[in-house]
Structure 1
Amino acid sequence: MSASHFEGKDAIQHVVERQTHGIASLAETHGAEIPGHISSYADACREVAFLLLILGVICEKLFLSHDQILLILGVFSCGLLCWKIGRSAWHGWSRLERLHRLVEEERYEIENNREQERDELIALYGAKGFEGKLLDEVVDVLMADGDRLLRVMLEEEMGLKLECHEHPLKQGFGAGLGAFTAAIIILLALLFLPHPLTLLITSLTSIAFAAGLSASYEKNRVISAVIWNLGISCLAFGTTYFLLDFILS
């Protein structure tokens, strides 16, 4: 057995280490439980709604007219739209690039360390309850098919879920749609309902909608998610509002 491959660890310790490495690669904004484009949509919708709310409050405290505020928020929304699309797509490309690197690393191990990969398979399926002749047959079948072996090692050893990695442009589209949804709701409401509370109500409504959507896909408690998101938003809004009052008084 190659000590350089296992780095002084036995097969089971090596598998645990690789699983930890694989799980870490999924610990990002768009986790494995919710589709990436849905996560991007909800995140962009929340962020744009909150930023427009804060910017609107600042503009009001500076005594700008309603038309000026509407124009500033509209221009700012266009910039945010481009930013959210580009950032989400780049983030997707970054994750995809990392996945490709992990695939190539595992492919190299399979091609150059077959005996060690066999030991890892025995450790993996032995832990699942396979033993004796059945364990040997399962390992032999997997070792005979390089593509199947690669997929098994990526998913079983490293904890990767290959089907969860969406195309970056799809994630970018989701983020763009989320940003557009929040912006268009807020801007149209300000255009047709020029009331002092319009911005606050529409922003919080957009944040609540995005939080509920995200929670429902993740099978979490929707009401709890909505309350927490609204509470955090109100805290941040109140902090901004009263700090501006204090600074400008």
Structure 2
Amino acid sequence: MTLKSDHFKGKDVYEHLKEARARGAKATQEIHGTEAPGHLVAATDSLKETAIILLGFWILLLAFRASAPVTLLAIFSIGWILWKGGRSALLGWGRLERLHRLIEEERYEIQHHRAQEKKELRGMYEQKGFTGELLDQVVEVLMADDNRLLRVMLEEELGLTLETYEHPLKQAVGAAVGAFIAGIGALIGAFFAGMWGITIVLLLLFSIATLMTAKREGNALIKSLIWNLAVGILSIGTLYFISQLR
């Protein structure tokens, strides 16, 4: 059976559900890609990125024979840490605003387009295999409770899992801490052992962060480490050789 209405913009229920899923996915992604949830993942990702940035910056300082390179590295690190924390917070707030907008839109539809919402609900549970009297009972029970209906429509129609989204400030603290650890490591390595010191310390921190992320996401540890190191070394190596061409 094909159900259409103005609320569905000329589409049947199943086409509307597919479009709604796409809207939900768009609301939770960042311009640069989907941001990994959790302050721990934010910390490890920030640590890895900061390690590459600071090592590259140190190479440029030496290549151009900058005076007081450790001091310049410290100043740059402070600014970078503030940027990483602030950027993570802004991305988090932006994502929450999009989610809030979707929630309010869905709440409005439940309050003002109940017949269409009921059709959507039937369509979703038909796709799950519900039929006959059981389908009718499930739909009627959910339609009788607006709060439960809102949650079901957000999770089933839009594909949102509300519990997975941390507060933006908590995410920002994670990102800032990750950048801070890399910054401290870089300064200690550079101060005591110059190029070799900063390289070894940041390489070690980068590897630890990569392994922690891979373990948390359930990916193959060695494979993830090898590929991340390969990309990092390629980036730093390219920067180093170009800096020597001047």
Question: Which range, TM-score by smaller chain?
Answer: over 0.9
Partner of 2:107: 107
Identify the residue that residue 225 of structure 2 maps to in structure 1: 226
Q: Which range is displaced more, 145-154 or 9-18?
A: 9-18
- Aligned pairs for 1:177-216 within 5 A: 177-191=177-191, 193-216=192-215
Q: Is the 2:28–2:98 Cα contact (8 Å) retained in structure 1? A: no
Supply the AA of the counterpart residue of 2:7: H
Distance 2:195 2:126 in 1: 66
Residue identity opposite 2:150 in structure 1: L
- Residue 150 of structure 1 and its aligned partner are, at CA, apart by 0.4
- Aligned residue for 1:241? 240
Give the superposition deviation at 1:95. 0.3
- Per the TM alignment, residue 35 of structure 1 is displaced from its structure 2 partner at its CA by 3.3
Give the deviation of 1:243 after TM superposition: 0.7
Q: Which amino acid aligns with 2:73?
A: L
Q: Tell me which amino acid in the other structure corresponds to 2:204.
A: T
**Aligned position for 1:126:** 126
**Contact 2:29-2:95 at 8 Å conserved across structures:** no
Q: CA deviation at 1:201?
A: 1.6
Partner of 1:217: 216
**CA offsets 1:95-125 (integer angstroms, 9 cap, x no match):** 0000000000111111111011111111111
2:28 & 2:203 partners in 1: Cα distance? 30
Q: Deviations over 1:167-209 (max 9, x none)?
A: 0100110011101111112212223x32431122222222222
1:35 lines up with 2:37 in the alignment: yes
Give the SS at the match of 1:173.
helix
Mapped to 1, the partners of 2:28 and 2:220 lie a distance apart of: 22
Q: Contact conserved, 2:25 with 2:158, CA < 8 A, in 1?
A: yes
- Work out whether residues 30 and 36 of structure 1, in 8 Å CA contact, stay in contact via their aligned partners in 2: no
> SS state of the match for residue 195, structure 2?
coil
Q: Write the mapping of 1:53-202 to structure 2, written as runs, cut at 5 A.
A: 53-64=55-66, 68-191=68-191, 193-202=192-201
* Structure 2 CA distance for aligned equivalents of residues 18 and 26 of structure 1: 13
Q: CA deviation at 1:12?
A: 1.2
Paired residue type of 2:209: A
CA distance in structure 1 between the partners assigned to 2:9 and 2:224 by the alignment: 44
Deviation at 1:31, TM superposition (A): 4.7
- Match of 1:9, SS state, is coil
C-alpha distance in 2 between matches for 1:55 and 1:138: 60
SS at match of 1:240: helix
What count of residue pairs does the alignment treat as equivalent? 243
Give the distance between the partners of 2:39 and 2:179, measured in 1 at CA: 12
State the alpha-carbon separation in 2 of the partners of residues 102 and 195 from structure 1: 52
Q: Secondary structure at the match of 2:198?
A: helix
Corresponding residue for residue 10 of structure 1: 12
Q: Structure 1 residues 246, 230: closer, same or farther in 2, change over 3 A? A: same
Asked if 1 retains the 8 angstrom alpha-carbon contact of 2:4 and 2:12, the reply is no
CA distance in 1, matches of 2:222, 2:33: 21
1:246 counterpart SS class? coil
Paired residue type of 2:117: E
After TM superposition, the structure 1 stretch with the greater mean CA deviation from structure 2, 150-159 or 214-223, is 214-223
Contact persistence 2:189–2:199 (CA under 8 A): no
Query: AA paired with 1:194?
Result: A
User: Shift of the alpha carbon at 1:163?
Assistant: 0.6
Does the 8 Å CA contact 1:30/1:39 hold for their aligned counterparts?
A: no
Cα deviation, residue 4, structure 1: 1.8
| TM-score, length of structure 1 as denominator length | 0.92
Counterparts of 1:26 and 1:218, CA distance in 2 = 18
C-alpha deviation, 1:161, in angstroms: 0.8
Kindly state the Cα deviation for residue 36 of structure 1 after the two structures are TM-superposed.
Answer: 2.7
